[in-house]
Amino acid sequence: MIELIDVVRTFDGQRVLDGINLTIPRGKITVIIGKSGAGKSVLLKHLVGLLKPERGRILIDGFDITQAKGRQLQECRKKFGVLFQGGALFDSLTVFENVAFPLREKTRLSAAEIAVRTRQRLAQVNLSQEMEDKFPDELSGGMKKRVALARALIEEPEILLFDEPVTGLDPPMTNTVFHLIAKTHQEIGYTGVVVSHDIPAVFQVADYVAMLHQGKIIAWGSPAEVQANPLPMVQGFIRGEVNFLEG
Amino acid sequence: MKNLVSALGRGGLKIVQEAGEMALFLLAALGQACRRPFRFRRLMQEIHFIGLKSGLIVLLTASFTGMVLALQGYYTLRKYGSEGALGSAVALSLIRELGPVLTALMVSGRAGSAITAEIGIMRITEQLDALDTMAINPLQYVVMPKLLASLISVPLLTAIFDVVGIMGGYLIGVVLLGVSSGAYFSGIVQSVVSLDINGGMVKSLVFGLTIILVACYKGYFTGRGAEGVSRATTETVVLSAILVLAWDYVLTSFFM
């Protein structure tokens, strides 16, 4: 379980996170929605300790990651897998090398065992063996996301964070990526946190939805509960109203 | 006038702050060298990139530098009837000054700028963050091997520069201008002492570490987007060149 308690973070005098309180249940997928620039990705980076809050605590299974440094922080991060917005694939490595990278660098598994696991993950995200030797710049946006997902899954993390997993993808590919998230979640059972503004497609993978607006969580609940939330901000965002988006 | 003074003050503070941050960055990165895993393969890759791939440009620069030194030295020494001292003039100039300085400048131009661009792109495409989230310290995986590689590669390149430069001088001084071969080499043997060589090697160690530190630091803390990486790359080349020349003065005054 992940708990955020009164988390505050300011950038250039602007409070991007203004006393966030949120509980992310274990083994479920929680989707954080909000307009672009609302601080969703900032919130996600706080969860894995890439950014530190000015105030507040973030408990990962009871361990406060905001206070962790050095080895403690690295140990805590072993629970995480992250799918970055642009994929963050290593551009000098092939698809196979990218996916195998965490195993090669952090484990003593044999090359054969690494190859088996890597191919297993690539197959899980519907990537054929012919793709293995391609470099990231030879891949389409959707393929990059799938390779990044395979890499994030390779160590079977307890917690998987998705930063805008479908941004820039066409509708069929958006559905494919969301389908893969749902499928892998069912198979591995990780705790998922998905940051997205892709409404309503993102609701298909959500167990819970939290809406971030002006640094605060203004709505939380099941997708049906959030969609029924009477707050004008929530309704405005879900309907994609121009006034809200520009506000 | 008041504005000018305050602007100078702000500039001065910024320089001091950046120097301090760079020193802390260096300590943090070198500290990773003592931690497992030791990343021997990464070190070899960086030695290949910084050292071996700079070999050709260093060879070319060294041979032309030695040739020009011999040409200039010959016409100056001939005025005093001291052509025999050409070998010692070429060797001392190369070993004490030009070898370490020009090698560092060449490595900075070829490898330093590339390192800044590489790390800068890793930063803006979140590859460094990805390493962090995989519990792999980017300082250990990306920066530390480059710094260690600079400590190994740049002194070796400097030694090659010195030897090739002396041979370039031989080609012009002895083969082309007719200085005695014996006088050329005996002049070197008599005039070059171990302090000259040690001084040159210490310089090359300091210069090598400085240019790769600047390159890594500028890339690691690059600004946003392609423009940020482009600016960081330019800053690397300019700052490295200035620091190499400034260090050269400081170290020369120690080894005089």
The distance of B115 to chain A (nearest Cα, Å) reads: 14
Residues B235-253 have pLDDT tens digits of 999 999 999 999 999 999 9
Higher per-residue confidence, A243 vs B67: B67
Query: Closest-CA residue in chain A for B131?
Result: A102
Query: Closest-CA residue in chain B for A153?
Result: B134
Using a CB-CB cut-off of 8 Å, the residues of chain B touching A102 are: 134, 136
Q: Which of B48, B125, B133, B136 to mutate to test the interface with A (most CBs of A within 10 A)?
A: B133
Highest mean pLDDT among A64-68, A214-218, B69-73: B69-73
Query: For A89-94, what is the mean pLDDT?
Result: 92
Residues A13-33 have pLDDT tens digits of 888 888 889 889 998 999 998
Q: How would you class A243 by CB atoms within 10 Å of its CB: exposed for 0-12, middle for 13-18, buried for 19 or more?
A: exposed
**DSSP at B159:** H
Instruction: Say whether B136 and A75 touch across the interface (CB within 8 A).
Output: no
* Residue B226 at interface with chain A, using a CB cutoff of 8 Å: no
**Mean pLDDT for all residues in chain B:** 92
Give the A window 101-120 contacts with B, CB below 8 Å. Answer: 101-102, 105-106
Task: Provide, rounded to the nearest whole percent, the portion of chain B with pLDDT above 90.
Answer: 77
Distance CA A116, CA A104 (A): 13
Q: Which of A65, A80, A84, A98 to mutate to test the interface with B (most CBs of B within 10 A)?
A: A84
Q: What is residue A90's three-state secondary structure?
A: coil
What band does A243 get if pLDDT is binned at 50, 70 and 90?
A: low
Which residue among A50, A81, A102 places its CB closest to the CB of B129? A50
Instruction: Say whether B126 and A90 touch across the interface (CB within 8 A).
Output: no
Query: For A34-50, what is the mean pLDDT?
Result: 87
The distance of A175 to chain B (nearest Cα, Å) reads: 24
* Residue A157 at interface with chain B, using a CB cutoff of 8 Å: no
Look at residue A179 and tell me whether its pLDDT is greater than 60: yes
The distance of B129 to chain A (nearest Cα, Å) reads: 7
Q: Which of A12, A65, A82, A164 to mutate to test the interface with B (most CBs of B within 10 A)?
A: A82
Using a CB-CB cut-off of 8 Å, the residues of chain A touching B133 are: 48, 50, 77, 80-82
**DSSP at B173:** I
Residue with tokens 């509980």: A23
Higher per-residue confidence, B221 vs A204: B221
Query: For B79-87, what is the mean pLDDT?
Result: 87
Query: For A102-108, what is the mean pLDDT?
Result: 89
Cβ neighbours, 10 Å, residue B36: 6
What band does B107 get if pLDDT is binned at 50, 70 and 90?
A: very high
User: How high is the pLDDT of residue A203?
Assistant: 84
C-alpha gyration radius of chain A: 18
CA angle, A126 as apex, A120 and A130 as ends, to 5°?
A: 80
| ipTM of model | 0.85
Higher per-residue confidence, A56 vs A246: A56
Q: Which of B134, B136, B141 to mutate to test the interface with A (most CBs of A within 10 A)?
A: B134
* Residue A86 at interface with chain B, using a CB cutoff of 8 Å: yes
Look at residue A109 and tell me whether its pLDDT is greater than 60: yes
**Mean pLDDT for all residues in chain A:** 87
Look at residue A117 and tell me whether its pLDDT is greater than 50: yes
Q: What is the DSSP string of A3-27?
A: EEEEEEEEETTEEEEEEEEEEE-TT
**DSSP at A170:** -
Instruction: Say whether A50 and B134 touch across the interface (CB within 8 A).
Output: no
Least confident of A199-203, A223-227, B18-22, B127-131: A199-203
* Residue B141 at interface with chain A, using a CB cutoff of 8 Å: yes
Q: What is residue A114's three-state secondary structure?
A: helix
| Count helices and strands in chain B by DSSP H and E runs | 12, 0
Look at residue B121 and tell me whether its pLDDT is greater than 90: yes
Which residue among B37, B125, B136 places its CB closest to the CB of A88? B125
What predicted TM-score, i.e. pTM, was given to this entire model? 0.86
* Residue B194 at interface with chain A, using a CB cutoff of 8 Å: no
Residues B207-222 have pLDDT tens digits of 999 999 999 999 999 9
The domain ranges of chain B are: 2-255
Instruction: Say whether A84 and B135 touch across the interface (CB within 8 A).
Output: no
Residues A143-167 have pLDDT tens digits of 888 899 889 889 888 999 999 888 8
User: How high is the pLDDT of residue B256?
Assistant: 67
Least confident of A234-238, B132-136, B153-157: A234-238
The distance of A92 to chain B (nearest Cα, Å) reads: 10
User: How high is the pLDDT of residue A247?
Assistant: 46
* Residue B227 at interface with chain A, using a CB cutoff of 8 Å: no
Query: Closest-CA residue in chain A for B130?
Result: A88
* Residue A81 at interface with chain B, using a CB cutoff of 8 Å: yes
Instruction: Say whether B136 and A105 touch across the interface (CB within 8 A).
Output: yes
Query: For B148-161, what is the mean pLDDT?
Result: 96
Residue A7 pairs with which residues in a beta bridge?
Answer: A20
Residue B80 pairs with which residues in a beta bridge?
Answer: none
